[in-house]
Amino acid sequence: MSTDGSILPDDVEQLKAMIAARDAVIARREAVLLQRDIEIVGHRAVIAQKEMVITSLHDVVEQQQAKLERVHEQLARLLRERYGPRKERVDPNQLTLFTPEELAELIRELKRDQQDSVSTDDGSLPQDESLGAAKPKEHGRRPIPPEIPRETIVHELTEQERQCPCCGELRAEIGREVSEQLEFIPARLKAIRHERVRYACRGCEEHVVLAPKPPQPIDKGLPGPGLLANLIVSKYGDYLPLYRMEDILSRYRLLLRRSTLCDWVASMADLLTPLYDLLCQRVRQSGVIHTDDTSIKMLSEGQCQNCKFWTYIGDPAHPYVAYEFSLTRAGRNPSRFLEGFSGYLQADAFSGYDQIYAKEQVTEVACMAHCRRYWQEASHTDARRAYEALGYISRLYQLESEFEAAGLSGASLRDARQQHAVGILKTFRSWLNEEQNQVLPKSPIGQAFTYTLNQWEATCRYTDDGALQIDNNLAERMMKPPAILRKNMLFVGGEQGGHRAAILLSLVGSAKYCEVEPWHWLRAVLEELPQRLRTGADPPDLTDLLPDQWLKAHPEHRWKIETIRKKERHRSKQQKANKRKKR
């Protein structure tokens, strides 16, 4: 509508109508604009809401990616554990180890210390072959031990074969060529017939008396001590399930069902309980105890219950291995076993041991091998930092190898660690403090930093006492018997069966640890123990039946295979060390 005054009408009513029409148009336009503003605000709200959804989806994607990375790391770790090499091998080219000059100087120092403290009777210095070049591995078969019975078979020529092809005379014997061959003779079962003579007075025909029968492991039972000892060693030393023992005995034409064998083994666990209690008491008297645990299934209604086997290894003055069975992994189980113990307890970082460490008389010692395991797993995600940390740890282990080769122990070992290892640990700690803030806390490398720093004081404590070890591998090795047993027998039948298995594992494991041939020892124990329990003091003194004490009276039953294996492992370490020095 035009606003030119020349075309406006003169009538007031028309003017009012025109103004009203124009106001209506303006009002409609304002309504349209208002509607558009409302729509714009709505669109902006929708956009803001969608942006929030997109942001939350981005967060979910990042979380899922992080979770997926963790799952991939766990899967890779499980695959390495299942199919990869067992040893935690580290590329030596990525380590900052000792230089050859540093190693040579260290060996010279250890030799000088040993020469100053030890000399032979004639005044000459002892030769330490372990510090020199490793002996080459012996080739060829080992000689047959002289204690194995011999049967001689003489191979001769007939008279016709002995005739000389030249003159026809009989050729005379001028010597013999001797060679030996091993033959296997299956084990024999024999029935021992006990005849108890009955006596009476011929004069009055009264006072009948019967000659007593010596107490047996199972009263009025079929098995003798040797058969029972063989069952125990076969099941808990050779890890043969009872159904296999049933097959083996059937080859000797003797049918003994596995249920019967199980009852015999259970009776022997009950009989040997006093000796097991004495063994556990001696372990608690140690100054240093190594401990660890592993899982075992127990039959129960519905599904199998997860239970635990614990191991406790005493010091060299109390060289015994004690196993204990528990229904749970609660900290009260080791607390109950270690009641009254005072000294060093070396274990992993399980929180259940904290209530034991809270006691003033127990000192915590951590495991360097557990620490190294975290860095080894992190090497697949952050190789630079992981291998640098592994370099420090490898230097510490290399020092321990040199100390062992030099024969150091006690105060001399502690002094050597203080002189050479403490400096490396201080440098390692400074590096940890500098690098920790540059990694994500929940990443594998961050977890390695966290574990190492949280356990730092307990991990370094091995340098304070020569009786301590750098790691808890001793307990790890002693967890191998129940782990192998678990694969063969799958589960224990109940709580009482678990306790009995722990008793027999402890006795067989302690015999092996003391280098005692377990069958001869158990047979002697099963012959002597029933007599002492029936007629002896309450409780009887069983000290001489402990494996290390029994071996002193029967040195012919020392188990030499463990000594041979130790020498082989030591020789292998020396050969690897020499290869590293050459590189």
Task: Give the integer Cα–Cα distance in Å for 36 and 33.
Answer: 5
Identify the pLDDT of residue 76: 79
Q: How far is CA 391 from the centre of its chain?
A: 24
Q: What is the pLDDT of residues 181-233, one digit of tens each?
A: 888 888 888 899 999 999 998 888 788 999 988 889 998 889 999 999 999 99
Q: How many CB atoms lie within 10 A of CB 533?
A: 15
199's enclosing H/E stretch is strand 198-199
504's enclosing H/E stretch is helix 495-513
Which of 365, 362, 272 has the alpha carbon at shortest distance from 323? 272
Q: How far apart are the first and last CA of the chain?
A: 102
> CA triplet 112, 117, 123: central angle to 5 degrees?
95
Q: Which residue has the tokens 């219950």?
A: 305
CB-based burial of residue 143 (10 Å sphere; 0-12 exposed, 13-18 middle, 19+ buried)? exposed
Contact 530, 271 (CB under 8 A): yes
Q: What is the pLDDT of residues 103-114, one digit of tens each?
A: 666 667 766 666
Identify the pLDDT of residue 123: 39
Amino acid sitting at position 493: G
| One pLDDT digit (tens) per residue for the chain, 583 residues | 445 556 777 788 888 888 888 888 888 888 888 888 888 988 988 899 899 989 889 988 988 888 888 888 788 778 877 776 666 665 555 554 565 666 666 667 766 666 665 444 443 334 444 444 445 555 567 788 888 889 999 999 998 888 988 888 888 989 999 988 888 888 888 899 999 999 998 888 788 999 988 889 998 889 999 999 999 999 999 999 999 999 999 998 889 999 999 999 999 999 999 999 999 999 999 999 999 999 999 998 888 899 999 999 999 999 999 999 999 999 999 999 999 999 999 999 999 999 999 988 999 999 999 999 999 989 888 999 999 999 999 999 989 988 988 889 999 999 999 999 999 999 999 999 999 999 988 888 999 999 999 999 999 999 999 999 999 999 999 999 999 999 988 889 899 999 999 999 999 999 999 999 999 999 999 999 999 888 766 778 899 999 999 999 999 999 988 788 888 887 887 787 777 667 6
Question: The tokens of 349 are what?
Answer: 């970082």
Can you give the length of the chain in residues?
583
Identify the pLDDT of residue 129: 40
Amino acid sitting at position 213: K
Task: Give the integer Cα–Cα distance in Å for 108 and 116.
Answer: 12
Kindly report the backbone phi and psi dihedral angles of residue 359, in degrees, each rounded to the nearest multiple of 5, phi listed first.
Answer: -75, 140
Amino acid sitting at position 246: E
Contact 171, 164 (CB under 8 A): yes
The mean predicted confidence, pLDDT, of the chain is 87
pTM of the model: 0.79
> CA triplet 189, 191, 194: central angle to 5 degrees?
155
Identify the pLDDT of residue 560: 85
Contact 365, 289 (CB under 8 A): no
Q: CB within 8 A of 18, min separation 6: which ones?
A: 1, 8, 9
Q: CB within 8 A of 551, min separation 6: which ones?
A: 514, 515, 516, 521, 557, 558
> CA triplet 287, 292, 298: central angle to 5 degrees?
135
| Sign of the C-alpha dihedral computed for residues 337, 289, 312 and 351 taken in this order | positive
Q: How far is CA 205 from the centre of its chain?
A: 68
Question: The tokens of 258 are what?
Answer: 């596995």
What is the DSSP-derived secondary structure letter of residue 343? E
Give a three-class secondary structure readout of 53-82: HHHHHHHHHHHHHHHHHHHHHHHHHHHHHH
**β-strands 288-298, 343-346 pairing:** parallel
Question: The tokens of 429 are what?
Answer: 């700690």
Q: For 551-571, b where at least 16 C-beta lie within 10 A, e where not — what string?
A: beeeeebebeeeeeeeeeeeb
